[in-house]
Amino acid sequence: MNAPPLVSMLVSVLGGGAAALFVATLGIVGPTRVRDAYGTFRERARDASKYLGLLVVVLLVNKLARDVGPEVSWLLGWNVTGLIYAVEGNFVMHVQSLATPTLTAVLSAIYLSGYVFLLTFPFVAYFVATDRRPLKLTAVAYAVNYGIGLCCYILFISYGPRNLLPGQVESLLYVTYPQTQILTRQVNVNTNVFPSLHTSLSVSAALVAVRTYGEYPVWALVAPILASAVAFSTMYLGIHWALDVVAGALLGVASVEIADSVVDARTDETSST
Amino acid sequence: MSTSRLSRRSLLALTGVGLTSGCIRQLESTFSRDHQQQLSFSIKTVPADADAVATKVARYLATQLQRVGISASVVPVSREELLRSVLLNHDFDVYVYRFPLPWDPDFLRPLLHSRYAPDVGWQNPFGYGDLSLDSLLERQQTERGVVRTSTLTDAQHRIAENQPFTPVAIPHTARATRPDRVDWPVDEPIHSVAAYLGARPVETRRFPSRVPPTAAVGNVTTNESTQTTPATTDTATDAPQATNRLRMTMTDARPTENLNPLSTPFRSDGTFIRLVYDSLGRVLDDEMHPWMAASWDWLDDDSSTLSVRLRDDLEWHDGNAITAADVAFTFRFLADTSLGSLDQLVPSPEYRGRASLVDSVSAASSREVHLGFGDVDEAVALRALSVPILPEHVWEPYARPTSVSWLDGGRVTEALVRNNLEPVGSGPFRVTGTSFRESLSLEPFDAHFLATQTLDESLARFEGGFAFDGLEFIVAPSGGSAIKLLSDGVVDATAGLLSSDAVKSALATPDISVRTGVSQWCYHVGYNLRKPPFTNPRFRRAVARLVARPYLTESVFDGRAYGVMSPLATTEFSPTGESWTAVLDELRFVGNHRTGSLDTSSARSLFEDAGYTYSKSGELLVQR
């Protein structure tokens, strides 16, 4: 019944992401690479299936826990909103002093579509890449991000700046594009802001991108810029605190580290048998 | 605190044996002093998503408290968590929220009477105890007319003087509608049972393509689709009717999670419950009228027993017949939801105040109930008739301790905590489905007496019943998104209250109009009088003087509220006269109440007068 606005929102957000994905696939991956990898698709999929499967399982658990998690966290969780505010004060308010309508439009698009692109493009790019490790690394890093993020959301109850400081921090995304809130509330709960998963996943994607400089030099440049913009947009739009972003960045780095060791361990295992 | 001090003293005294007594005395007076610390406490409130006004008031208060040297922080918590911690667990220092304002001022009795201090729900959540206020609140129950007004004036004096809570403002309500889609009754606030029952579809809505655009009847002013409605009733039979639903937004998702009338953390103004559950009487035009009851009469001259006769052929939503036994059950159940199965009473916190008016209840026949009241005036007694009537066959099995009772000592019944998402009521609407945090769907209940019976004068306007096939509430996370859904034509009106920003955007959107209405809420600052420093009335009065009402109503409520010093300020019971002015003078804001800027040094001296000291760096100190 609230499908029409939700669907149209999904179409424009995913549409934006898909358009970027198409352009990037043509420009960064290139038809030649896709053609070269064509015969090995099935084998590549089998090779990465365990890692992708892990991500799918984590995402499913995450989806289920989104409904129950908030209730559990009110029972067990630690409300850190006041603590975060005490530490960083009005930082987000200062960030918002930069606001202009154009910047709001650009950063809203980055927060929604840019983020979707940043997270999905690696799967396309690394699936056909010569080196098969980045695909596995990305899948595991995302899974770790979600897994740890979910635990944090249960442990810490935290409302974003727009919820604690109405009138000082504007909810720029939702005030400018109210319909987006109908979409984001499907995937977000407003007590789940510490850490910023937008930031952590973007940082993970950017880190892996930098490592694949040899194969995709353009992506190694684009991804970190896009990731920084996503992280900045979360504060600019009044959704996250600076500490959420800092914690998100640390989680993003840690997730890649953990993913590294997981992929290493699995590779050792398979090569030894 | 005192026991640890004593033991430390005795320890010092013991270890001191053998030392010179003078030295010991000096040591003792040095070490046995508890050191002083800055006073710090938290202000609980809801996040801006739920109620930006409450968050802003709480933040304003925290800032003022910080200026007078108190370390105050705002802790945002969800609506149900706030109600749970304030009303059920009494786990708070200070909170900022709103309490509902029922039509009769007798609501002050459960709110502040000391007998209810150990109780839960909106029963003295502050833990206030004042014998002279108790007797005033008891007296007003038995009085009427000017005598009652005078007693209530005295009560308001005492409440204002002692500040068990600090009233801030009573807001105007604002809701947005699409006048091109739905005609709402003029006199009823949207999102009330009466408004839903009186709402009519604007005929053009059903047949957008069939209406000839030529018939421009110029004197109707809404917009280009305005049409007179000749002969549409004929075509209605073959027109598709599946979409003839009244669709509303709500910002509060709680009704999609819980529809238990007895659940305090999930209930707000009670409209959803009144759609689904009937009561014996309903307040219409500020008076209690028979609803499920066909009529009622006082049995004897002492006004202590009310005989209530039910309408004929009343039915529950599951098809069972409603009898007087259900009504009797309801009052027994509200008084003790364990029905005697536990060794103590477990009353329903939500209806404690009203149910407490009833001393005894018995079914005199299958249609007639006798309600025995204590020493209360008839008008006050009638308040009891507005509690929802519950089917015995549904609720009786839940009169047992919760399945997790080992956690809480077994003092909570299933009845108080069940979600009840498929409620069996007898109200004009039946719930057909809920979608968690997304939507709630209802349909008109065909067997309801409004639809099947001839009605007397007071209910005559509801004849014909609900004019739509269904009633749907869609959760819109904010006022902004609600206005967007409204302008996109996905919904017909907003059920939740709009913030002033949302009102502005509604007014700027074509096809949308805004209806303002009578206030139902009092925003206030609540103190937990069970712990220091809130046990000290001088401290509370000093805090009350940090609240600049004109500033808040202008800046936070955007002019859409009355700043109030008493929750009865907007009623006929509002006190006047010199002595009331004198009370108010002593609670005046310290500073410029229009700009909200605090006269910090005067404010600090208020706290010094209340017995507190300041450190050299300006922190308000308390002994720890």
| Residue with the two structure tokens 């009477």 | B113
Query: What is the spatial distance between Cα B501 and Cα B56, in angstroms, rounded to a whole number?
Result: 14
Identify the H or E element spanning B100: strand B94-100
Query: pLDDT digits over A175-216, tens only?
Result: 888 878 877 776 677 888 899 999 999 999 999 999 999 999
- The shortest CB-CB distance from B490 to any of A2, A162, A167 is to A2
Q: Which residue of B has its CA nearest to A72?
A: B81
Q: Which of residues 76-95 of A touch B (CB under 8 A)?
A: 79, 81-82, 85-86
**Contact list, B59 vs chain A (CB under 8 Å):** 164-165, 167
The reply to whether A101 touches chain B by the CB within 8 Å rule is no
Residues B66-97 pLDDT 10s:
999 999 999 999 999 999 999 999 999 999 99
- In one-letter notation, the amino acid at residue A189 is V
- The string of DSSP codes covering B145-172 is HHHHHHHHHHHHHHHHHH-SEEEEEEEP
Residues of A in contact with B47 (CB under 8 A): 159, 163-164, 190
Distance from CA of A178 to the nearest CA of B (A): 4
Task: In whole angstroms, give the CA distance from residue A171 to residue B48.
Answer: 10
Q: Which residues on chain B place their C-beta less than 8 Å from a C-beta of chain A? A: 42, 47-49, 52, 55-56, 59, 73-78, 81, 247, 436-439, 472, 474-478, 480-481, 483-485, 488, 490, 501, 556
How far from B226 is each of A195, B231, B602, CA to CA, in Å?
52, 15, 61
The reported pLDDT for the residue numbered B208 is 46
| Cβ neighbours for A144, distance < 8 A, ≥ 6 positions apart | A254, A255, A258, A259, A262
pLDDT band with cut points at 50, 70 and 90 for residue A71? confident
Question: Do the chains contact at B52 and A166, CB–CB below 8 Å?
Answer: yes
Rounded Cα–Cα distance for residues A196 and A233 (Å): 11
- Spatial neighbors of B201 by CB under 8 A, at least 6 apart, are B181, B182, B183, B244, B246, B467, B468
Q: What pLDDT does residue A145 have?
A: 95
Q: How confident is the model at residue A268 (pLDDT cuts 50, 70, 90)?
A: low
- Total domain count for chain A? 1
Q: CA nearest B249 in A: which residue?
A: A2
DSSP string across B199-237: -EE-GGGT-TTTS-TT---TT--S-TT----TTHHHHGG
| Helix, strand, coil percentages in chain A from 3-state DSSP, rounded to 5 | 80, 0, 15
State the Cα–Cα distance between residues A30 and A151, nearest whole angstrom: 39
Chain A interface disruption, residue of B42, B44, B45, B49, most A CBs within 10 A? B49
A165 contacts B477? CB cut-off 8 A: no
Name which of B291, B262, B270, B264 is nearest B103 in CA terms: B270
CA B429/CA B433 separation, integer angstroms? 12
Percent of chain A at pLDDT > 70 equals 95
**A-chain residue closest to B63, CA distance:** A165
Of A70, A164, A185, Cβ closest to residue B74: A164
Please tell me the predicted confidence (pLDDT) of residue B338: 92
Domain that residue A69 falls in? 3-270
The nearest alpha carbon in chain A to B558 belongs to A167
Separation CA A226–CA A230 (nearest Å): 6
Q: In this predicted model, which residue has the larger pLDDT, A273 or A66?
A: A66
Which residues from B are below 8 Å from A158, CB to CB? none
Cβ pair B172, B517 in contact under 8 A: yes
User: CA B74, CA B464: separation in Å to the nearest integer?
Assistant: 50
The shortest C-alpha distance from B169 to chain A (Å) reads: 18
Closest residue, chain A, to B501 (C-alpha): A175
ipTM of model: 0.88
A167/B247 CB distance under 8 A: no
pLDDT for B245-302, tens place per residue? 999 999 899 999 999 999 999 988 889 999 999 999 999 888 899 999 999 999 876 6
Low-confidence ranges of chain B (pLDDT < 50): 1-6, 12, 14, 16, 205-242
Nearest C-alpha of chain B: how many angstroms from A272?
49
